[in-house]
Structure 1
Amino acid sequence: MAAARDPRPVGDKLVTVFGGSGFIGRHVVRALARDGWRIRVAVRRPDLAGHLQPLGGVGQIVTTQANLRYPESVAQAARGSDAVVNLVGILSESGKQSFEAVQAEGASIAAEAAKEAGAARFVQMSAIGADRASKAQYGKTKAAGEDAVLAVYPDAVIIRPSIVFGPEDDFFNRFAAMARMSPVLPLIGGGRTRFQPVFVGDVARVVAMAAAGEIAGGAGAYELGGPEVMTFEEVLRFVLKETGRDRALVPLPFGLAKLQAKVLQLLPNAPLTVDQVTMLETDNVVSEDAKAAGRTLEGLGIEPASAAEVAPTYLWRFRKSGQFEKTRTEA
């Protein structure tokens, strides 16, 4: 886990963070605030970003309206910035918020705006699994976004985390919520897909280092993973243990899961899409190339926090009696 730093005095350097009000965004904003940046958070709905204000000093964090599908708003948000961070991404498409528009074209628009504004550094949040040859639109457009950014900023820092966890995550929390409601949990693809869950605070620390120019950019993304590699089945069993639930784990072949997802993705706030099932066909772990190049948390001198260390601090709320109920291993 990244070592805690004493907050630095607020300086005159300005960083614009696109997508700074989301799960990863709030932790990035906190890390940047502690480093003394003036922070402009560019979001579609500034009226819903008030929760960011306590993360910094008075006047240190301001919000502004911007949408990556509208270049004029992006250019206005980037104006005067010394560094720009793009965290915008989606896990499923909805209306005009398509993978292509948000993750590929949007990244290009953000980079062009940053360059026009004279920003010295650009940081692009991508993901392990970003690949032009990916069968999943998520991974394919993440890779297209990386290419678009590097075409404008050859020395941009590209960050690819594995599954990110933390108190507000949509990973451990999602499965814990499912276990609370359903007697059965599906092991998609037999539960063999491997993940390397990484703590959101560690990811935020790397983003802040990149914005400050403390790590090199250019060719080769930084791949961030935690200390544990867990299969999908191990993830579910971990969640069940921590929440004190007994649930049946039923294998669900990828083909059947895709048929089910075709129906589910028609629902508002779809719980599962075909694209998400497709992503589960590939392991989500740090590559050997990234390890060899030192483009990992350990390579940056950060000891990654483990899921076993952090996740229990927020999964207790899914226990039948909350924090006062012991898990099976504690009894």
Structure 2
Amino acid sequence: MLLVTGITGHTGRYFLQELIDHKYEGPIRCIVRETSDTSMLDNSGLNIEKVYGDLNNKEFVRKTVNGVDYIMHIYNIHHSPMIVEAAIENNVKRAILVHTTGIYSNFKDASQGYKDVEKKVTEMTADSNCPTKVTILRPTMIYGDLCDSNMSKFIKMIDKFRVMPVINGGRSLIQPVNARDLGKAFYTVLMSPEKTAGKAYDFSGEKPLQMIEVFKMISDSLNKKTTFVSVPLGFGVVLAKIAKVLTVGKINYIERVQRMGEDRSYPHAEAKKDFNYNPMSFEEGIQLEVNQYLKK
């Protein structure tokens, strides 16, 4: 029995598509919300069992993990310790946890939270007699279609505004990864326990790009003439702090602005070595998303 969380989400849907394309034969238990669109699950032709519940409920998690052999936890890094605890109690063989390269950030307050989660998971599974082997997957900035929370915002901004500010001239490096590539990688890791159990992998895009390169590619794909104006990081942070004060904390983009000046490119050499991870180019991936935007 395979248990999957987050299968109706952005990346989860591409993992589901891989299960469909490869005609996965085993039973799959999926934790979903009452409000989730499960049409893709319902029409998948796979042996799907839908379970409705709240991952914040410890008893629900324990009950749902009962009888499970493998776990693909995509939904939220902060639920990983509870998932792993339940996995160990139920003698689950493998737990694949989708975390984030945000763990490496120098600015993001939550990065310490991410580190704490991974430390706790490591401590829980350190015993050589632990029945559950854990694999950690860390995607970089995820994009791919209009439901992502990264490139879709940039596409809308560049389409709307002819002049766009960029932090420090957009010189910082990013390495966005397409959700389609993540879906394939998640499936490969699931089906390669001998090579991947007990390891951690960073999943990034084909190569590092400067932010300004990314913005110009989007502008070209939209056939727009956009002027990009450099804004010092310090000034951007001040504006973000003012926005936070004026909105009584409802708009808090301080960390987001800080990270715009931080390099966020991470190599994926281990994934390439172990299972030939080979992500598409950003040019190809962003064109797919822009085309979707234009059609809509």
TM-score range, shorter chain: 0.7 to 0.9
Asked if 1:62 corresponds to 2:50, the answer is yes
Distance 1:272 1:55, change over 3 A: farther
- What is the distance in 1 between the residues matched to 2:190 and 2:157? 37
TM-score by length of 2: 0.84
Q: Match for 2:7 among 11, 16, 20?
A: 20
Contact 1:65 1:77 in 2 (8 A): no
Which one of the candidate residues 23, 34, 50 is aligned to 1:46? 34
- The CA deviation at 1:122 is 0.8
Aligned-partner SS, 1:305: coil
Question: Cα distance, 1:180 vs. partner?
Answer: 2.3
Q: Give the partner amino acid of 2:27.
A: R
In the other structure, the counterpart of 2:97 is: 124
Letter aligned with residue 143 of structure 1: K
Query: In structure 2, what is the Cα distance between the partners aligned to 1:195 and 1:299?
Result: 23
- Report if aligned partners of 2:188, 2:275 keep a CA contact under 8 Å in 1: no
Query: Among residues 107, 116, 126, which one is paired with 1:135 in the alignment?
Result: 107
Q: How does 1:304-315 map to 2 (within 5 A)?
A: 304-315=279-290
Counterpart residue number, 1:241: 220
Change (3 A) 1:244 1:265: farther
Task: Report 1:297-308 matches (<5 A).
Answer: 297=272, 299-308=274-283
Deviation by residue 1:11-30 (Cα, 9 ceiling, x = unmatched): xxx22222222111111223
Q: Tell me what 2:25 maps to.
A: 36
Question: What letter matches 1:38 in structure 2?
Answer: P
Q: Distance in 1 between matches of 2:279 and 2:35?
A: 34
Q: Give the distance between the partners of 1:202 and 1:315, measured in 2 at CA.
A: 17
Taking structure 1 as the reference length, what is the TM-score of the superposition? 0.76
Match of 1:328 in 2: none
Residue 85 (structure 1) aligned to one of 67, 72, 76: 72
Separation of aligned partners in 1, 2:30 and 2:62 = 13
Cross-structure match for 1:228: 207
CA distance in 1, matches of 2:244, 2:34: 28
Q: Percent identity?
A: 20
**1:299 to partner: Cα distance:** 4.2
- Whether contact under 8 Å (1:165, 1:172) holds in the other structure is yes
- 1:61-89 Cα offsets, whole Å, 9 max, x none, are 5242122x321222222222111122233
Deviations 1:145-187 (A, max 9, x none): 2222222235411111222221242222211111222233221
The question of 1:285 aligning with 2:265 is answered yes
- 1:254-312 CA-partner distances (Å, limit 9, x unpaired): 222223333556869x786222223334322224xx63xxx123542132211212321
Which residues of structure 1 form unaligned runs of 5+?
1-13, 90-102, 324-331
Maintained 8 Å contact 1:29/1:55:
no
Once the two structures are overlaid, the 10-residue window that deviates more, 78-87 or 150-159, is 150-159
1:128 and 1:223 in contact (8 A); partners too: yes
Counterpart of 1:242, as a letter, is S
Partner of 2:138, secondary structure, is strand
Following superposition of structure 1 onto structure 2, how do residues 168-317 of structure 1 map, counting pairs within 5 Å? 168-212=147-191, 213-218=193-198, 221-262=200-241, 264=243, 273-287=253-267, 291=269, 295-297=270-272, 299-317=274-292
Unpaired runs of 5+ in structure 2? 127-132
Q: Across the two proteins, how many residue pairs are aligned to each other?
A: 285
Query: For the residues of structure 2 that align with 1:303 and 1:59, how far apart are their CA atoms?
Result: 29
In the alignment, what sits opposite 2:58? 71
CA distance in 2, matches of 1:214, 1:163: 28
CA deviation after TM superposition for structure 1 residue 207, in Å: 1.8
Q: Distance in 2 between matches of 1:284 and 1:230?
A: 10
Equivalent position of 1:157 in the other structure: 135
CA distance in 2, matches of 1:248, 1:146: 42
Q: How far does residue 41 in structure 1 lie from its aligned partner after superposition?
A: 2.2
SS in 2 for 1:156: strand
Residues 174 and 236 of structure 1: CA distance in aligned 2, closer, same or farther (over 3 Å): same
Secondary structure in structure 1 of the residue aligned to 2:149: coil
